[in-house]
Amino acid sequence: MAKSLSGLVVTGLAACAFATAAEARTLHWASAADSLTLDPHSQNERPTHRISHQLYDTLVYRDLELALQPRLATDWYPREDDPSVWVFELREGVTFHEGQALTAEDVVFSLERAMHENSDMRGLLTSISEVRAAGDYTVEIVTDGPNPLLPNNLSNLFIMDSGWAAEHDVETPQDFASGEESYAVRNANGTGPFELVSREQDTRTEMVRNDDYWGRDQYPMEVSRQVFQPIESSATRVAALLSGEIDMILDAPVQDIARLREAEGIKVEQAPQNRTIFLGMHQGRETLRNSETDGNPFADERVRRALYHAINAEAIRRSVMRGNSQPAGIIMPPFVNGYTEALDERLPYDPEAARELLADAGYPEGFDVTLHCPNDRYINDEEICEAVTGLLGRVGIDVNLVAQPKSVHFAELQRGEYDFYMLGWGVPTLDSEYVFNYLLHTSEGNRGSWNFTGYSNERVDELIQAMGREVNTEARNGLIAEAWEIVQDDVVYLPLHHQVLSWAMREEIQHPVQSENNPYMHHVEFSD
């Protein structure tokens, strides 16, 4: 019989009551931003995935060193007689939190659900032509030609119970951009290491350990209860950690890192993040939506290059990020296949060159534009945008800065309402195709779903589709290199920096920084 939400609370309390003192540990943690939704296929966004990884499982996942590891799938391989078919062998004996048994049909349902037009995950699955059950615990995924990287695309693809989805009328993902509500937005029934107790959007999410978890003997599982609280204010977040209200924060403010290092009982762990911060410009419209300037300055490559020269990324690193960032010349982080140091070299900071390019493009006096940024998503996001606003003003570009909560920012961005905007991008597949497929392919169908620039290049589209099928590593890397050369020359985006992660926590908490910013709470150990 399915457990009610109150039943989950009783289960969680009972687990705590019968656990030994060493096992019954509650961990309170915080970050600046909340998950946008509990619907696991609605949004392809890291804080959303962060909570989903507690409640749901994936077929495969990236471990603490970003290596691909088994989760619900114990083995995966292309069929010898047909390399266009990937076979995934499932773990047997796994149950969902409400007691339903995991079968291949749940995996088929979940992948098909994630391919729905409402799903922001569909861009990862563009090569899939069919998903089928080949037995109770075997799934076959048929791709449009060989796809050597398909397993890489599944590390954030969460598996739902098909019966639960039908029961609660959530067989299709939430339409986030339209503000749709559904049962899956605030409730969950996964196979993950923690069960949902309560969910208050932008306030608090409480979860208890799943003592029936299939990995109970494989992971420490020392956290018996976790409470996540989004705390937007940096000062409040730090104060909560120092006072003992919070045990761990994922985004220690860069201005407070030195103070936190010196605080008694607190430690700061750092690592480069698999994420790059950049600015997008809509270059495909005839006129800008939020400007009094005639025409669209961003349609001219000289203008885009001028903005690049006008931004002093080193000054942002030094003054805004307090040294905790790495200036970037490309919109992919160093973890990714296709990255080279040569690609990552920035155009020089040169305000005079910027003014000359603007004059050559017909804007000797500059122009006005609105820059939209989140204020609770990336490290010092609003402060970065304030710095960019000042730097562009020095070359005659009058920037109206609008900084909003990420829930508003991403909903409006996905509706195509912005001319000029901040975005950060991580690459869970660790391959360039992910960046190209989402950010640089012509926006059509399931491809280019985060390309809000209007950029469209036929040759780049051809290369993206070819690199998804090429099995020869050397040939594939050649396709990737050619595509990067084209888009770098076109100055499609304005790269700013690669983020550095800073987690601050109580000294007894043992959890190394995971470079995708995923705290796996079932991995946590306590040293005392």
Residue whose entry in the numeric block shows the structure tokens 């040759």:
459
Contacts of 180 (CB under 8 A, 6+ apart): 174
- 5-265+507-526 has which fold? D-Maltodextrin-Binding Protein; domain 2 (3.40.190)
Residues 44 and 34: their CA atoms lie apart, in Å, by 14
Residue 30 has pLDDT above 80, yes or no: yes
Task: Say what the pLDDT of residue 144 is.
Answer: 92
Please choose, from the candidates 388, 371, 365, 361, the residue with its C-alpha nearest in 3D space to the C-alpha of residue 301: 361
Asked if residue 154 lies in contact with residue 162, where contact means CB atoms within 8 angstroms, the answer is no
Please choose, from the candidates 294, 236, 282, 244, the residue with its C-alpha nearest in 3D space to the C-alpha of residue 266: 244
Asked if residue 149 lies in contact with residue 469, where contact means CB atoms within 8 angstroms, the answer is no
Question: What would the pLDDT profile of 247-258 be if each residue is shown by its tens digit?
Answer: 999 999 999 999
Positive or negative, the CA dihedral 68, 73, 74, 75 is negative
Please choose, from the candidates 525, 508, 338, the residue with its C-alpha nearest in 3D space to the C-alpha of residue 430: 338
R_g over Cα of the chain: 23
Strand positions, DSSP E, 149-286: 194-200, 204-209, 223-230, 248-249, 266-281
- For 159, phi then psi, to 5°, come to -100, 125
Question: What would the pLDDT profile of 45-67 be if each residue is shown by its tens digit?
Answer: 999 999 999 999 999 999 999 99
3-state helix, strand, coil in the chain (%, to 5): 30, 25, 45
**End-to-end Cα separation, the chain, in angstroms:** 39
Residue whose entry in the numeric block shows the structure tokens 């559904």:
182
Predicted confidence band of residue 12 (pLDDT cuts 50, 70, 90): very low
Please choose, from the candidates 490, 456, 454, the residue with its C-alpha nearest in 3D space to the C-alpha of residue 296: 454
Q: Where are the domains of the chain?
A: 5-265+507-526, 272-500
Strand positions, DSSP E, 145-294: 194-200, 204-209, 223-230, 248-249, 266-281
Burial class of residue 6 (count of CB atoms within 10 Å of its CB; 0-12, 13-18, 19+): exposed
Residues 16 and 115: their CA atoms lie apart, in Å, by 39
Asked if residue 483 lies in contact with residue 313, where contact means CB atoms within 8 angstroms, the answer is no
Q: Where are the alpha helices (DSSP H) in 5-155?
A: 5-18, 46-55, 104-114
Residue 281 has pLDDT above 50, yes or no: yes
Question: What would the pLDDT profile of 141-155 be if each residue is shown by its tens digit?
Answer: 999 999 989 999 999
Task: Tokens for 507, please give them.
Answer: 């000294």
Question: What would the pLDDT profile of 115-174 be if each residue is shown by its tens digit?
Answer: 999 999 998 999 999 999 999 999 999 999 999 899 999 999 999 999 999 999 999 999
Question: What would the pLDDT profile of 359-397 be if each residue is shown by its tens digit?
Answer: 999 999 999 999 999 999 999 999 999 999 999 999 999
Mean pLDDT of 438-457: 94
Residue whose entry in the numeric block shows the structure tokens 């309402």:
417
Question: What would the pLDDT profile of 314-342 be if each residue is shown by its tens digit?
Answer: 999 999 999 999 999 999 999 999 999 99
pTM of the model: 0.84
List Cα–Cα distances, 15 to 8, 10, 12, 98, 224, in angstroms. 10, 8, 5, 16, 8
Percent of the chain past pLDDT 70, that is, above it, reads 96
- Three-state DSSP class for residue 337: strand
Residues 142 and 83: their CA atoms lie apart, in Å, by 9
Task: Say what the pLDDT of residue 24 is.
Answer: 85
CA angle 299, 386, 453 (to 5 degrees): 25
Residue 15 has pLDDT above 50, yes or no: no
Task: Tokens for 292, please give them.
Answer: 């009094």
CA angle 87, 90, 92 (to 5 degrees): 155
Given the candidates 3.30.420.40, 3.40.50.1000, 3.10.105.10, 1.10.3720.10, the CATH classification of the domain at 272-500 is 3.10.105.10
Task: Tokens for 226, please give them.
Answer: 């976790």
Contacts of 211 (CB under 8 A, 6+ apart): 15
Residues 241 and 238: their CA atoms lie apart, in Å, by 5
Task: Say what the pLDDT of residue 426 is.
Answer: 94
